Structure 1
Amino acid sequence: MATVSATTVPTTRRHDRLDPRAVEKAGIVLCDLDGCLMSEGRLFAETAEFAEACGARLRVVSNRSDTTAAALSAELSDLGLLVPAAHILLAGEFTLEHFARQGLRRVQLCAAPVLVERARSLGLAPDAGDPEVVLLCRDPGQNVDTLGPVLTRIACGAQLWVANEDVSHPDQSGEPVAETGALLAALLAIHPGLSWRSLGKPHAAMLTHALSAAGVGADEAVFVGDNAQTDGRAAAAAGMPFIHIRRRSER
Structure 2
Amino acid sequence: MDVAMRTRKTTTIQWLGAAEVDGYAAILCDLDGCLIAAGRALPGAEDFVRAAGKRVSIVSNNSADTSVTLSAKLNAIGLPLPQESIFLAGELAVRTIAAERPGARIHVIAEQPLHALATELGLERANDRTDVVLLARDTKFTLTGLEKALRLLEQGAELVVTNPDLSHPNADGRPVPETGSLLAAFKACCPEIAPRVIGKPQPFLINAALEAAGVPASEAVFVGDNAATDGAAATLAGLDFIHLVATPSPLANGAPVEDTLPLTHPSSVEASAC
Q: Give the corresponding residue for 1:109.
A: 108
Instruction: Give the match's secondary structure for 1:59.
Output: strand
Q: Give the corresponding residue for 1:68.
A: 66
TM-score (norm 1): 0.94
Amino acid corresponding to residue 14 of structure 1 in structure 2: K
Q: Give the corresponding residue for 1:3.
A: none
The answer as to 2:124 corresponding to 1:125 is yes
Give deviations 1:128-174, integer Å, cap 9, x for gaps: 53211101010101133420010000000001111011111111111
Instruction: Give the match's secondary structure for 1:64.
Output: coil
Residue 44 (structure 1) shift:
0.5
Residue number among 63, 79, 82 corresponding to 1:81 in the alignment: 79
Instruction: Give the match's secondary structure for 2:143.
Output: coil
Q: Give the corresponding residue for 1:153.
A: 152
CA distance in 1, matches of 2:66, 2:158: 23
CA distance in 1, matches of 2:148, 2:248: 40
CA distance in 2, matches of 1:185, 1:220: 36
Alignment of 1:1-251 (within 5 A): 8=3, 11-18=6-13, 19=16, 20-104=18-102, 105-127=104-126, 129-249=128-248
CA distance in 1, matches of 2:202, 2:164: 10
Contact kept in structure 1, 2:28 and 2:57, CA below 8 Å: yes
| Structure 2 runs not aligned, ≥5 long | 251-274
CA distance in 2, matches of 1:128, 1:77: 36
CA distance in 2, matches of 1:205, 1:98: 10
Residue 9 (structure 1) shift:
6.2
**Greater RCO structure (CA 8 Å; 6+ sep):** 1
Q: Give the corresponding residue for 2:256.
A: none
Count of equivalent residues: 246
| Structure 1 runs not aligned, ≥5 long | 1-5
Alignment root-mean-square deviation, CA: 1.7
Residue 223 (structure 1) shift:
0.3
**Identical-residue share of aligned pairs (%):** 41
CA distance in 1, matches of 2:116, 2:4: 37
TM-score (norm 2): 0.86
Residue 122 (structure 1) shift:
1.1
65-74 vs 138-147, which moves further: 138-147
Residue 250 (structure 1) shift:
5.3
Give deviations 1:165-200, integer Å, cap 9, x for gaps: 111111111111100010110111111111111111
CA distance in 2, matches of 1:173, 1:142: 24
CA distance in 1, matches of 2:36, 2:156: 39
